[in-house]
């Protein structure tokens, strides 16, 4: 058995590999046993900026239980049932939130005083895949050491023994998910009939986005909000925002927002229909916070994938960009270490540590709208100029260290020399899919495109 946890929890094809009934039940029993042994090992102390922003729910709904939420995939109910079986076998009760976004589970885990949060989702992956993500009682991804302990138990132990003790039956709290919308609504001013296009990707935002924006006085236009268990992320949502851009132009909307399957990230379209990603959101929010003296250390955290144009833009404002490995958990960890309140990824996963511990596409959209209203200008006025960047995803059959594949190493070195100081090359494996991601950026678009294809071809020849 190899490494079980990727960069964002456990993922596999639903019903096979790490997502069979037997294995999912074992995962829950391993986690349940560790919870009984020492719940503190799952804790992640929040940064000072978050300690005063805990959502207030009285009485606490799920104290001592595990909150479980899922996206709209057909396999979700089975995985939910298997997790409950495993937790109950260890004497741990479950509170079922039903279909809700990943950040919704993080929020409700904090609000309801739960022992742990669990999300059943494969985020932007196709409907055939699924996954399991764990959140601490404070709403963050669980610590690395906790994941390592779970992996060790799963890798060393055989099938679990007899159930240890009885647990209470699952508590259905799906009707209380509206408390998450209450929390979000507190971060927005009235939207005054504003026309907004929302592409829900047939995912977890489908039943939440419309009511939230209607409640705030907007006129939401919903796209792809009819999940059938098989259409999540299918040609829509944050991975395919072209339809969003077209709808914004057609409807004359003020803004468009396109979410992925679990709505922890968002790609925006400004009022002209021009797409705006996480780099644009970070530029806008950093500018606004810096001007108002609310950007501690004049620091923004992003990943190695952040465009060099963002780094130059922020430097011009006296703001430092600190880079981490790809993955929101690495961004969050660096934000906690550095005291930063703003961070995120180009893919649209944005963290506001003055509001929430989790990246949240709905919250990000509200934050952008609030900033634009306060500044009295449209998103199209943002002056960020991104460097030409090409990102190619190459399917691979194996994942050896790239430096140990001579032809790939040579192609990377050749591309790096050709760019010199005017660009960079980043080649890495996806932590959630059998893909190698090739990113090249620089000032010459034609050169960037050619070099990216050269490196991708070498990866394809050697590793496909």
Q: Which residues are catalytic?
A: 123
Q: Rounded distance, CA 92 to CA 35, Å?
A: 8
Cβ-proximal residues to 208 (8 Å cutoff; 6+ apart), any chain = 100, 101, 104, 177, 180, 181, 263, 362
Whole-Å CA distances, 166 to 56, 86, 91, 169: 30, 11, 5, 9
Q: Rounded distance, CA 70 to CA 100, Å?
A: 6
Q: In angstroms, how far is the first alpha carbon of the chain from the final one?
A: 22
Give the tokens for residue 437: 């991601």
Instruction: Pinpoint the alpha helices (H) of 171-291.
Output: 178-185, 209-215, 242-251, 278-291
Cβ-proximal residues to 325 (8 Å cutoff; 6+ apart), any chain = 303, 304
Q: What angle do CA 11, 15, 16 make, to 5 degrees?
A: 70
Lateral strand order in the sheet of 320-324: 320-324, 299-303, 342-344, 350-352
Residues 291, 292, 297, 303: is their CA dihedral positive or negative?
Answer: negative
Q: Rounded distance, CA 222 to CA 209, Å?
A: 8
Give the phi and the psi of residue 280 in degrees, each rounded to 5: -65, -40
Residues β-bridged to residue 192: none
Cβ-proximal residues to 461 (8 Å cutoff; 6+ apart), any chain = 407
Q: Rounded distance, CA 179 to CA 185, Å?
A: 10
Of residues 137, 101, 120, the one with CA closest to residue 363: 101
Whole-Å CA distances, 416 to 390, 407, 446: 14, 14, 15
Give the tokens for residue 440: 């090249």
SS3 199: strand
Lateral strand order in the sheet of 266-269: 219-223, 195-199, 255-259, 266-269, 275-276
């Amino acid at each position: 058995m190899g490494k079980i946890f990727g960069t964002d929890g456990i993922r596999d094809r639903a019903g096979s590999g790490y997502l069979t009934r037997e294995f999912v039940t074992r995962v829950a029993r391993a986690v349940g046993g560790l919870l009984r042994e020492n719940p503190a090992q799952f804790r992640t102390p929040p940064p000072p900026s978050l300690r005063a922003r805990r959502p207030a729910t009285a009485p606490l709904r799920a104290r001592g239980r595990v909150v479980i939420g899922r996206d709209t995939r057909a396999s979700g109910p089975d995985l939910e049932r298997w997790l409950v079986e495993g937790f109950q076998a260890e004497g741990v009760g479950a509170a079922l939130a039903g279909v809700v976004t990943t950040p919704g589970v993080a929020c409700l885990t904090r609000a309801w005083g739960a022992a742990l949060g669990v999300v059943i989702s494969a985020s932007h992956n196709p409907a055939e895949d699924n996954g399991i993500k764990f959140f601490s009682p404070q709403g963050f991804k669980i610590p690395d050491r906790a994941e390592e302990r779970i992996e060790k138990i799963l890798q060393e132990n055989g099938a679990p023994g007899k159930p240890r003790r009885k647990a209470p039956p699952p508590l259905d709290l799906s009707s209380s998910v509206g408390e998450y919308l209450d929390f979000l609504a507190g971060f927005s001013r009235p939207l005054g009939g504003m026309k907004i296009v929302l592409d829900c990707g047939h995912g977890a935002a489908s039943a939440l986005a419309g009511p939230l924006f209607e409640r705030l006085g907007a006129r939401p236009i919903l796209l792809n909000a009819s999940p059938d268990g098989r259409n999540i992320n299918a040609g829509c949502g944050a991975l395919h925002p072209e339809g969003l851009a077209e709808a914004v132009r057609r409807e004359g909307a003020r803004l468009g927002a396109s979410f992925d399957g679990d709505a922890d990230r968002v790609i925006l379209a400004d009022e002209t229909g021009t797409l705006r990603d996480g780099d644009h959101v970070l530029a806008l929010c950093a500018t606004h916070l810096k001007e108002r003296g609310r950007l501690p250390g004049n620091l923004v955290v992003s990943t190695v994938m952040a465009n060099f144009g963002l780094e130059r833009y922020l430097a011009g404002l006296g703001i430092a960009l600190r880079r981490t490995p790809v993955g929101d958990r690495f961004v969050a960890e660096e934000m906690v270490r550095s005291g930063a309140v703003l961070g995120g990824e180009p893919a649209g996963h944005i963290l506001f540590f003055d509001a929430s511990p989790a990246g949240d596409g709905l919250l990000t959209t509200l934050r952008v709208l609030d900033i634009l209203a306060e500044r009295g200008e449209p998103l199209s006025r943002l002056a960020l100029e991104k460097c030409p960047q090409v990102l190619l995803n190459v399917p691979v059959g194996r994942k050896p260290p790239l430096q140990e594949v001579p032809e790939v190493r040579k192609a990377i070195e050749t591309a790096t020399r050709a760019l010199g100081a005017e660009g960079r090359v980043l080649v890495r494996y996806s932590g959630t899919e059998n893909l190698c991601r090739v990113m090249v950026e620089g000032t010459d678009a034609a050169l960037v495109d050619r070099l990216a294809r050269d490196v991708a071809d070498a990866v394809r020849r050697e590793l496909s």
